[in-house]
Amino acid sequence: MIMIRSIVRPDKVDDVLAALMEAGFPSVTKISVVGRGKQRGIKIGEITYDEIPKELLLTVVQDQDRDYVIKTVIKAARTGVKGAYGDGKIFVTPVLEVYTISSGIRETSSGEIEEVKI
Amino acid sequence: MKEVMAIVRMNMMNKTKKALLEAGVSSMTAREALGRGKGLVDYSLLEGAEKGYEEAIAQLGHSQRLIPKRVVFVVVPDKLMDATVKAIMKVNRTGKSGDGKIFVFPVLDSISVRTAESGEAVLDEV
């Protein structure tokens, strides 16, 4: 399994969430973050803004869905056709195990599914 | 070393903190987050959208709100991972959907900023 962390513009979050729902990946966690990118923030006149507000979206998907989800996010989060600086980044991390608290079902990266007794 | 990331209900935070302490995990990071899970999907809507009904497509992505949750991050040595996961599951389980998820990630290294120590010496002991 794989976790996709996408940092997107706050005004594009609704589009991305709708696109993910439409693509069949409803589970998302959203966290507000601030940050800067390669352009070292935005400089307007004398002032540099280097804590730009963004939204961080966490989605965990199966390995084979990875490219599809990434494409969905890119398509929804890009501004215009070519995109612009500040549209965000997507990071992909491996997930070793996933537990569902309500049922205790454990899924491992190798695809085994079992119920954990507590 | 493993990172355990648990998404839990807001009102379960105090119990979770206590349970982690009892399991021998003293250090943690928590954040507020918004989210949705697969329990909220209206499959008839999805099916309708796939068939191309405009009414169904118009409702996609707007029908459900995001639910406020807490995210807990703990980095633990391999040996403590099972105990941590079980402790979180035990206190957070109500049996209804919305109890949350736990994800386990591999961690390459951890370094203490104050002492510059690295490896398992920075983490909680088993």
The C-alpha of B67 sits at a distance from chain A's nearest C-alpha, in angstroms, of 9
Mean pLDDT of A22-30: 92
Domain boundaries, chain A: 2-115
ipTM of the complex as predicted: 0.75
**CB spacing of B46 vs A102 below 8 angstroms:** no
Q: Whole-angstrom Cα distance, residue A50 to residue B49?
A: 41
The per-residue pLDDT for range B52-70, each reduced to its tens digit, is 777 777 766 555 678 899 9
Please report the pLDDT score of residue A109 as a whole number: 87
Question: Under a CB-based contact definition with an 8 Å cutoff, are residues A31 and A22 in contact?
Answer: no
Looking at beta carbons, which residues of chain B come within 8 Å of A104?
Answer: 89, 93
> From first to last of its 126 residues, what are the pLDDT tens digits of chain B?
999 999 999 999 999 999 999 999 989 999 999 988 876 566 777 777 778 777 777 766 555 678 899 999 999 999 999 999 999 999 999 988 889 999 999 999 999 888 888 988 888 876
Question: Under a CB-based contact definition with an 8 Å cutoff, are residues A58 and B100 in contact?
Answer: no
**CB spacing of A118 vs B101 below 8 angstroms:** no
**CB spacing of A3 vs B97 below 8 angstroms:** no
The per-residue pLDDT for range B98-115, each reduced to its tens digit, is 899 999 999 999 998 888
**Backbone angles phi and psi of B32, in degrees to 5:** -85, 145
pTM over 0.95: no
Question: Under a CB-based contact definition with an 8 Å cutoff, are residues B63 and B55 in contact?
Answer: no
Domain boundaries, chain B: 2-37+66-122
Nearest chain B residue (CA) to A60: B103
Percent of chain A with pLDDT over 90: 74
How many contacts does A have with B, using Cβ atoms within 8 A? Answer: 104
Nearest to A102 among B31, B97, B106 (CB): B97
Fold of the A2-115 domain: Alpha-Beta Plaits (3.30.70)
What would the two tokens of residue B33 be?
């987050």
Residue for token pair 């591999």: B106
Helix (H, G, I), strand (E, B) or coil at A74: helix
**CB spacing of B106 vs A94 below 8 angstroms:** yes
In words, the CATH class of domain B2-37+66-122 is alpha beta
Q: How far is CA A12 from CA A9, A63, A73, A77, A78, in A?
A: 5, 25, 10, 6, 8
Interface of B with A (CB under 8 A): 2, 6-8, 31-38, 40-41, 46, 49, 57, 60-62, 64, 66, 69, 71, 85-86, 88-90, 92-106
